[in-house]
Copies of this chain bind each other. A is one copy, B any other.
């Protein structure tokens, strides 16, 4: 476990900060979906908590780190509920801030992918599983949000999204396997996921769908 403490205190504080930013941003996406589905205040809070904390909790259960950190450190719940309150009150303004929200969402995706892969690597899972846990952390909350809202999960049909998370998680797991994980590898993973996601958004890239036979 102590091999996980490769980052100095400043980087650790930075990671906690962006972990909480990721929680807030994803929770906001849950609040906005709940308002669009005309759910009540509890439904808004529930979808915010699910979107903001679901991916990390699923990762923690799968790697055996129970109780999940979101049940031990209250700041995750506070961040998710703050997003629920903001979304509940200001959804109308937020919907017009679409581009800004997508920027934050890409940042959340990047940080969650890297944080998830790093935590799984520190728990001594093999590299392929650490990559998987990075993706689960990054997209799990959004999938849970959509399943609870009775919708086909956005990540399963949308543009390059999980693939961007996969790249960042791969950088982390690869660096761990080589004994080179540290702030540089984390920063590279975060930047890679963030940039791929932004370029995919701007250029409207999509993952391919299955080839159809000629009629």
Chain A residues within 8 Å of B, Cβ to Cβ: 34-35, 37-44, 46-47, 57, 61-64, 66-68, 71-72, 74, 77, 87-89, 91-92, 123, 125-126, 128-129, 132-133, 143, 147-153, 155-158, 161-163, 206-213
Return A176 CB to nearest CB of chain B, in Å: 15
Copies in the complex: 3
Q: List 27 A-B contacts (CB under 8 A).
A: A35-B210, A37-B157, A40-B156, A40-B207, A41-B207, A41-B208, A42-B156, A42-B161, A42-B162, A42-B163, A43-B155, A43-B156, A47-B156, A57-B62, A61-B62, A62-B66, A62-B68, A62-B71, A67-B125, A67-B129, A71-B129, A71-B132, A72-B125, A74-B126, A77-B128, A143-B148, A150-B152
Known interface pairs A63-B67, A72-B125; A157-B40 also in contact (CB < 8 Å): yes
Which of B74, B89, B148 is A153 in contact with, Cβ under 8 Å?
A: B148
Q: Which residues on the B side are within 8 Å of A125 (C-beta)?
A: 67, 71-72
